[in-house]
Amino acid sequence: DQQVKQNSPSLSVQEGRISILNCDYTNSMFDYFLWYKKYPAEGPTFLISISSIKDKNEDGRFTVFLNKSAKHLSLHIVPSQPGDSAVYFCAASGQYSGAGSYQLTFGKGTKLSVIP
Amino acid sequence: EAQVTQNPRYLITVTGKKLTVTCSQNMNHEYMSWYRQDPGLGLRQIYYSMNVEVTDKGDVPEGYKVSRKEKRNFPLILESPSPNQTSLYFCASSLVQMNTEAFFGQGTRLTVV
């Protein structure tokens, strides 16, 4: 059962426009959400995160929105640049069992292509 | 430079031949983890470790072993590799728990024939 879902395998956006990447989750125990970016032949790199006590977190061109009631989060990139072309993974963490026991669950990823 | 180093980057092996993929971090992180990435399946956690001598299973632990004898190292052991373990493997570390920023290694491309 997939607990973190990224339903769009790919997304194409014109340079300068907004990119919106979506993520849905099912486990109400998740209390922290992260976005990672991955280029080919490299490991994922951390992009931005949000705690479940917030509904928005902004870092430069990147903003993450969290809608807890809908169990939905989204990553907005404005303006999009060709260098943003990568695979974006949504991830969630929370206490699964026992004190201090945290795991990170990833979605399948969305490949973003920013067209010059 | 803060980094997570995996070795080897590429490995082709035969079914049943034991192998170890090493992972080392230089950030004094307590938390380390192994993932595999497969097409259409994203990143799935194999094992994680919250500190020295403390390890636990992730989502797909079957066929894998880990050990954490030192804080900086977290090797992944395949005692008897099978073709379904052909995958791209990533090691990651974070300061405390995985709700803080995790640093990933560059990956190990394993092919089991």
- Residue holding tokens 């990933």? B104
Q: Which amino acid is it at A104?
A: L
pLDDT band (50, 70, 90) for residue B1: confident
Cα distance from B50 to chain A (closest Cα, Å)? 8
Six-digit token string for A5:
């879902």
Identify which of B74, B37, B20 has the alpha carbon closest to the alpha carbon of residue A42: B37
Q: How far apart are CA B60 and CA A36, in angstroms?
A: 21
Which chain B residues have a beta carbon less than 8 Å from that of A42?
A: 106-107
Which chain A residues have a beta carbon less than 8 Å from that of B4?
A: 43
Backbone angles phi, psi at B85, to 5 degrees: -95, 5
Residues 58-77 on B with a CB inside 8 Å of A are: 58-59
Question: H-type helices in A1-116, by residue range?
Answer: none
Q: How do residues A36-62 score in pLDDT, each as one tens digit?
A: 999 998 999 999 999 999 999 999 999
Six-digit token string for A9:
């395998």
Residue of higher predicted confidence among B69 and A105: B69
Which chain B residues have a beta carbon less than 8 Å from that of A102?
A: 97-99
A18 near B CB under 8 A? no
pLDDT at A100 over 50: no
Q: What is the predicted pLDDT for the residue at B102?
A: 87
End-to-end distance of chain B based on CA atoms, in angstroms? Answer: 36
Q: What is the predicted pLDDT for the residue at B91?
A: 97
Q: How do residues A82-94 score in pLDDT, each as one tens digit?
A: 999 999 999 998 7
